[in-house]
C-alpha cells in the first residue's frame, strides 16, 4: 500500500467512525461520544539534538507525551514535535508525520504515550530509542464533546 492509499484508508476510517452518528442526548443537547483510537506507533526522531538526554532516566513507558504542530518548521512543513513535561524530546519522523499533521490541522485532539524505551543514555546522549503511540482523543468542535475512555 502506498502512502496515499494509507492516508486515504486512515482518514476514510475516521470519517466513517465520526459519520456513524454516535450521538447521545445529554443535559445540554446532543453530544458525540468518541472512544480514543490508536493512529500509529512511531519512533521519536532527533533524540540526540534535543532534551531527551537530560531526562532519559526519568522517562518511563506509559508516560503521557504532548504533540505540538510546527507548520513553520524550516526543515519540514509537516513537523510534529514531541514533548514530555515541557522537555522537547524530538519529532515524529518526517516519513510518518503526514496523517498526524493533517489531523491536527483539521482540529483533532491527539495525544502521545511513551510505548517503549530501549537502551541507555551515555553522557546524556540517548543510544537506542523511544517509541510512542499517537492516539486520537476528540474532534475539537464548538458543540459539547464527551470523550469516553
Give the tens place of pLDDT for each residue, 88-106.
Answer: 999 999 999 999 999 999 9
pLDDT of residue 131: 93
pLDDT of residue 44: 95
pLDDT of residue 33: 54
- Domain limits at 122? 3-147
User: How many separate domains does the chain show?
Assistant: 1
pLDDT of residue 5: 53
The answer to whether 114 and 59 have CB atoms below 8 angstroms apart is yes
pLDDT of residue 73: 95
At 39, which CATH number? 3.30.70.2330
Cβ within 8 Å of residue 56, ≥6 positions away? 120, 121, 124, 126
Q: Using 70 as the pLDDT threshold, list the residues of the chain that sit under it.
A: 1-34, 120-127, 138-149
Tell me the pTM: 0.69
Amino acid at each position: 500500500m502506498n502512502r496515499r492509499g494509507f492516508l486515504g484508508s486512515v482518514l476514510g476510517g475516521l470519517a466513517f467512525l465520526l459519520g456513524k452518528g454516535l450521538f447521545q442526548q445529554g443535559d445540554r443537547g446532543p453530544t458525540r461520544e468518541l472512544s480514543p483510537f490508536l493512529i500509529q506507533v512511531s519512533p521519536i526522531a532527533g533524540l540526540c539534538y534535543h532534551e531527551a538526554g537530560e531526562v532519559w532516566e526519568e522517562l518511563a513507558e506509559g508516560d503521557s507525551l504532548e504533540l505540538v504542530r510546527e507548520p513553520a518548521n524550516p526543515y519540514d512543513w509537516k513537523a510534529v514535535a514531541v514533548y514530555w513535561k515541557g522537555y522537547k524530546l524530538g519529532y515524529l519522523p518526517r516519513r510518518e508525520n503526514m496523517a498526524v499533521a493533517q489531523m491536527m490541522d483539521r482540529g483533532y485532539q491527539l495525544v502521545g504515550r511513551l510505548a517503549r524505551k530501549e537502551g541507555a543514555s551515555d553522557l546524556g546522549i540517548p543510544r537506542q530509542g523511544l517509541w510512542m503511540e499517537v492516539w486520537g482523543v476528540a474532534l475539537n468542535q464548538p458543540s459539547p464533546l464527551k470523550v469516553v475512555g
